[in-house]
């Protein structure tokens, strides 16, 4: 681990879609965001569609007819991969807060092992939004020889204070919950209120003023509670519902570890912007969304600036959407078009770079 | 992109570009010029463009393109990042042509500028006889919907280059899809210049 601590055997849960070709040249690694998991496409046993099912599939933007798509749950997560709720072999109990600090670099290091295990020398592309975009950037910088292209979406070279601040409020909500118990709550009551509040804050930052106005307006709920501070407005009811639902599928300690990894991420890491992508051969497509105020377009443009300074083969598009940060999951028509065509040129090898003398 | 020249400007631009050069096209539209240059001159292309639709076309064609404003998109490049920077039919549409051209000459070793000549004979006649702002094949817009922000003649531009100590390495003038040699400021509908600092 980057922190210097050691983790014994690590489990990574992953899903794949499509077929790996004989040359092993059609593999695309899809990277999930904070609350995502390995289930990116198709329906699972309970009939739940993957988090990017509108982008990945037969004939879709990331066409599983052509590409072998891999998605794994991140290290530190709680959806099958090793994380704080896993059993610490030394004590026979869940790690809890004794789990070592996880970084985006550690997550990518674990993915490297997975790609090695699958026998893939070079990925056709690494693609992800938000935290997934950070992992894509990490691949570009730390493992440039293992990728032919990258698509970082709605992401940043490093968190700004506002992003850290929102994460900190989420963490404080969890740690202020008496059920958190310093992270050792496994087997008993989970810090449900704290995690739900953290998720509610998160949800606000994923939407936009316009998308909330459109979705809820000032509409009030029909079944009002007699309590004075009940959820009178639809938006309140929605946030409570999303918060409570999240508790059922997500571990509070993972939320702490993963948001910390987001905040600590800084791809520059002491380097100049002009040096960070120096010599990188991968073709890059940077995408942002107009109404995203959590990862505003200026952050994507910083990535573009680094690409320009490195003289890279790169494209940038700011997509129209009112959905805010969630747009990369929801407003997928233009996104699909751009990703699909971009992958096609990378796969066919008829991008710009092939005309170099 | 303005096609009143029937593509003769593309042929002329291609004649200036060296094989394998790196080329930045400012306001590249759907990438038609860059694609011609990729095919004929094996250039390394980069476009900057604002329109969503045009960006999608460029990405679909495998061209590298940034969705940015030309007026601000150059500042991030280091000096001499490109062999050629092209401002074809977009020069008169930027907010600050003086600044953009200065930046283009900093970022590119050579700069191509193409624009409609506002003192072309037809324009002059329309102003003189009709008393109206000209609407022609090279200036096809009405006053209320034109993307053109600046109106200049070939003579204006050559004066400007002299004052700014910009070297005109070569120039072509066109009208009705043919080359014009004599009296370009009167008979040239389009001016195309190869510049260096």
| Interface contact B62-A337, CB threshold 8 A | no
3-state class percentages of chain A: helix first, strand second, coil last, to nearest 5? 40, 15, 45
For residues A157 and A355, the answer to whether their CB atoms sit within 8 Å is no
Q: Which residues of A touch B78 (CB under 8 A)?
A: 274, 309
How many CB atoms sit inside 10 A of residue B182's CB?
Answer: 8
Q: Give me chain B's average pLDDT, please.
A: 94
Question: In whole angstroms, what is the distance from residue A84 CA to residue A153 CA?
Answer: 28
Share above pLDDT 70 across residues of chain A, in percent, rounded to a whole number:
98
Q: Which of A352, A353, A356 to mutate to test the interface with B (most CBs of B within 10 A)?
A: A352
Q: Which of A318, A341, A353 sits opposite B60 (nearest CB)?
A: A341
Selecting among A63, A292, A313, A326, the annotated active-site residue is: A292
Tokens 């970082």, located at residue:
A152
Phi, psi of B56 (to 5 degrees): -60, -40
Give how many domains chain B has, as a whole number. 1
| Interface contact A353-B76, CB threshold 8 A | no
Q: pLDDT tens digits for B120-157? A: 999 999 999 999 999 998 999 999 999 999 999 999 99
Quick one: CA torsion of A346, A347, A350, A353, rounded to 10 degrees? 40
Q: Which residues of A touch B66 (CB under 8 A)?
A: 304, 308, 314-316
Selecting among A39, A143, A159, A325, the annotated active-site residue is: A325
β pairing state of B65-67 and B44-49: parallel
Query: In B, what residues contact A, Cβ < 8 A?
Result: 19-20, 22, 38, 42-46, 52, 55-56, 58-68, 76-78, 81
How many CB atoms sit inside 10 A of residue A334's CB?
Answer: 18
Residues 6+ away with beta carbon under 8 Å from A131: A31, A32, A33, A34, A74, A104, A155, A258, A261, A262
From residue B144, how far is each of A107, B49, B69, B135, B185 by CA, in Å? 55, 23, 22, 12, 26
Residue A231 has pLDDT above 90, yes or no: no
The yes-or-no answer on residue A254 being catalytic is no
Q: Supply the pLDDT for residue A350.
A: 58
Closest CA of chain B from A260, distance in Å: 31
Strand residue runs (E) in B58-150: 65-67, 82-88, 108-116
ipTM summary value: 0.90
Question: In whole angstroms, what is the distance from residue A203 CA to residue A324 CA?
Answer: 10
| Interface contact A342-B59, CB threshold 8 A | yes
Rounded to a whole number of angstroms, the CA Rg of chain A reads 20
Tokens 């076309």, located at residue:
B57
B138 within some domain: no
Q: Among A39, A86, A103, A85, which residue's Cα sits nearest to residue A251?
A: A85
| Stretch A292-313: mean pLDDT | 96
Closest CA of chain A from B84, distance in Å: 14
Q: Which of B52, B65, B76, B108 to mutate to test the interface with A (most CBs of A within 10 A)?
A: B76
B16 within some domain: yes
Q: Which of A274, A337, A353 sits opposite B56 (nearest CB)?
A: A337
Q: Supply the pLDDT for residue A226.
A: 80
The yes-or-no answer on residue A292 being catalytic is yes
Q: Which of B43, B58, B77 sits opposite A355 (nearest CB)?
A: B43
| Interface contact A283-B68, CB threshold 8 A | no
Q: Is-same-fold flag (A14-159+267-352; A163-262)?
A: no
Tokens 């992003």, located at residue:
A163
Q: Which residues of A touch B42 (CB under 8 A)?
A: 355, 357
Q: For residue B22, give the chain A residue with the closest CA.
A: A356
Burial class (CB in 10 A: 0-12, 13-18, 19+), B26: buried
- Return the sign of the alpha-carbon dihedral for residues A340, A342, A345, A346: negative
Q: Give me chain A's average pLDDT, please.
A: 95
Q: pLDDT tens digits for A94-153? A: 999 999 999 999 999 999 999 999 999 999 999 999 999 999 999 999 999 999 999 999
From residue A125, how far is each of A219, A342, B10 by CA, in Å? 44, 10, 34
Q: pLDDT tens digits for A31-81? A: 999 999 999 999 999 999 999 999 999 999 999 999 999 999 999 999 999
Q: Which residues of A touch B22 (CB under 8 A)?
A: 311
Q: For residue A342, give the chain B residue with the closest CA.
A: B59
Q: Which residues of B touch A319 (CB under 8 A)?
A: 52
B126 within some domain: no
Phi, psi of A223 (to 5 degrees): -90, 80
| Interface contact A304-B44, CB threshold 8 A | no
Q: Supply the pLDDT for residue A331.
A: 85
Closest CA of chain B from A332, distance in Å: 14
| Stretch A72-93: mean pLDDT | 97
Q: Which residues of B touch A280 (CB under 8 A)?
A: none
Tell me the pLDDT band of A357, cut-offs 50, 70 and 90. very low
* Topology adopted by domain A14-159+267-352: Rossmann fold (3.40.50)
Q: Architecture of A163-262 per CATH?
A: Orthogonal Bundle (1.10)
Closest CA of chain B from A92, distance in Å: 53
B68 within some domain: yes
Closest CA of chain B from A43, distance in Å: 30
The yes-or-no answer on residue A130 being catalytic is yes
Provide the domain limits for residue B160.
Answer: 8-117+150-196
B44 within some domain: yes
Q: Which of B34, B44, B66 to mutate to test the interface with A (most CBs of A within 10 A)?
A: B66
Question: In whole angstroms, what is the distance from residue A98 CA to residue B192 CA?
Answer: 69
Dig out the tokens for A227 from the structure.
Answer: 């309590």
For residues A24 and A119, the answer to whether their CB atoms sit within 8 Å is yes
Residue B43 has pLDDT above 70, yes or no: yes
Q: Which residues of A touch B81 (CB under 8 A)?
A: 308, 311
The helix (H) or strand (E) run that includes residue A28 is strand A27-31
User: CATH number of the domain that B169 lies in?
Assistant: 3.40.50.150
Beta carbon pairs, A and B, within 8 Å: 75
| Stretch A231-239: mean pLDDT | 93
Share above pLDDT 70 across residues of chain B, in percent, rounded to a whole number:
97
How many CB atoms sit inside 10 A of residue A332's CB?
Answer: 19
Q: Supply the pLDDT for residue A351.
A: 53
| Stretch B158-172: mean pLDDT | 98
Q: For residue B50, give the chain A residue with the closest CA.
A: A317
| Interface contact B59-A285, CB threshold 8 A | yes
Question: In whole angstroms, what is the distance from residue A210 CA to residue B138 CA?
Answer: 41
Q: Among A110, A106, A95, A121, which residue's Cα sits nearest to residue A13?
A: A110
For residues A20 and A61, the answer to whether their CB atoms sit within 8 Å is no
For residues B54 and B29, the answer to whether their CB atoms sit within 8 Å is yes
Residue A328 has pLDDT above 80, yes or no: yes
DSSP string, A85-118: TSEETTTTEE-GGGSPP--HHHHHHHHHHHHHHT
Q: pLDDT tens digits for A174-211? A: 999 999 999 999 999 999 999 999 999 999 999 999 99
Q: For residue A336, give the chain B residue with the closest CA.
A: B56
Dig out the tokens for A189 from the structure.
Answer: 């009551």
Question: In whole angstroms, what is the distance from residue A125 CA to residue A17 CA?
Answer: 15
Residue A222 has pLDDT above 50, yes or no: yes
B91 within some domain: yes
Phi-psi region of A96 (alpha: psi -120 to 50; beta: other; left: phi over 0): left
Selecting among A35, A81, A125, A130, the annotated active-site residue is: A130
Q: Supply the pLDDT for residue A325.
A: 97
Q: Which residues of A touch B37 (CB under 8 A)?
A: none
């Amino acid at each position: 681990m980057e922190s210097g601590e050691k983790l014994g055997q690590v489990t990574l849960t992953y899903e794949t879609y499509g077929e790996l070709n004989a040359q092993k040249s059609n593999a695309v690694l899809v990277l999930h965001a904070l609350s995502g998991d390995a289930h990116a496409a198709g329906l699972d046993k309970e009939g739940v569609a993957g988090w990017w099912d509108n982008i990945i599939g037969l004939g879709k933007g990331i066409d599983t007819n052509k590409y072998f798509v891999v998605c794994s749950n991140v290290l530190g997560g709680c959806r099958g991969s090793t994380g704080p709720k896993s059993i610490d072999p030394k004590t026979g109990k869940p790690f809890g807060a004794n789990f070592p600090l996880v970084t985006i670099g550690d997550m990518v290091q674990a993915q490297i092992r997975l790609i090695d295990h699958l026998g893939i020398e070079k990925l056709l592309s690494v693609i992800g939004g938000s935290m997934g975009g950070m992992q894509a950037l990490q691949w570009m910088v730390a493992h440039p020889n293992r990728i032919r292209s990258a698509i970082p979406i709605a992401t940043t070279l490093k968190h700004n204070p506002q992003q850290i601040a929102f994460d900190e409020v989420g963490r404080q909500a969890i740690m202020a919950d008496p059920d958190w118990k310093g992270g050792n709550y496994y087997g008993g009551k989970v810090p449900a209120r704290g995690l739900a509040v953290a998720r509610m804050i998160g949800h606000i930052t994923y939407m936009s003023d316009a998308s909330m106005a459109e979705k809820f307006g000032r509409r009030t709920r029909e079944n009002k509670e007699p309590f004075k501070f009940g959820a009178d407005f639809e938006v309140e009811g929605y946030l409570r519902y999303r918060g409570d639902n999240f508790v059922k599928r997500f571990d509070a300690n993972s939320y702490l570890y993963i948001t910390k990894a987001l905040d600590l991420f800084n791809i520059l890491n002491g380097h100049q912007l002009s040096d960070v992508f120096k010599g990188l051969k991968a073709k890059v497509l940077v995408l942002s969304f107009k109404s995203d105020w959590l990862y505003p377009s200026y952050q994507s443009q910083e990535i573009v600036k680094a690409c320009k300074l490195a003289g890279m083969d790169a494209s940038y598009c700011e997509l129209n959407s009112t959905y805010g940060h969630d747009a990369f999951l929801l407003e997928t028509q233009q996104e699909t078009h751009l990703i699909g065509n971009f992958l096609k040129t990378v796969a066919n090898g008829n991008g710009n770079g092939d005309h170099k003398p | 992109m303005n096609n009143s020249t029937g593509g003769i400007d593309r042929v002329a631009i291609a004649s200036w570009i060296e094989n394998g050069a790196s080329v930045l096209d400012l306001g590249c539209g759907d990438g038609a010029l860059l694609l011609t240059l990729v095919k004929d001159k094996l250039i390394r292309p980069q476009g900057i463009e604002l329109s969503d639709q045009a960006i999608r076309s460029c990405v679909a064609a495998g061209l590298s393109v940034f969705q940015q404003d030309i007026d601000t998109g150059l500042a991030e490049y280091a000096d001499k990042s490109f062999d050629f920077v092209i401002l074809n039919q977009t020069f008169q549409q930027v907010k600050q042509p003086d600044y953009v051209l200065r930046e283009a000459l900093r970022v590119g070793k050579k700069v191509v500028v193409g624009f409609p000549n506002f003192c072309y004979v037809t324009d002059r006649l329309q102003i003189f006889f009709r008393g109206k702002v000209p609407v022609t094949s090279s200036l096809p817009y009405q006053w209320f919907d034109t993307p053109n922000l600046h109106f200049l003649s070939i003579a204006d531009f050559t004066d400007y280059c002299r004052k700014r100590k910009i070297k005109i390495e070569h120039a072509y003038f066109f009208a009705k899809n043919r080359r014009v040699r004599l009296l370009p400021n009167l008979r040239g509908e389009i001016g195309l210049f190869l510049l260096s600092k």
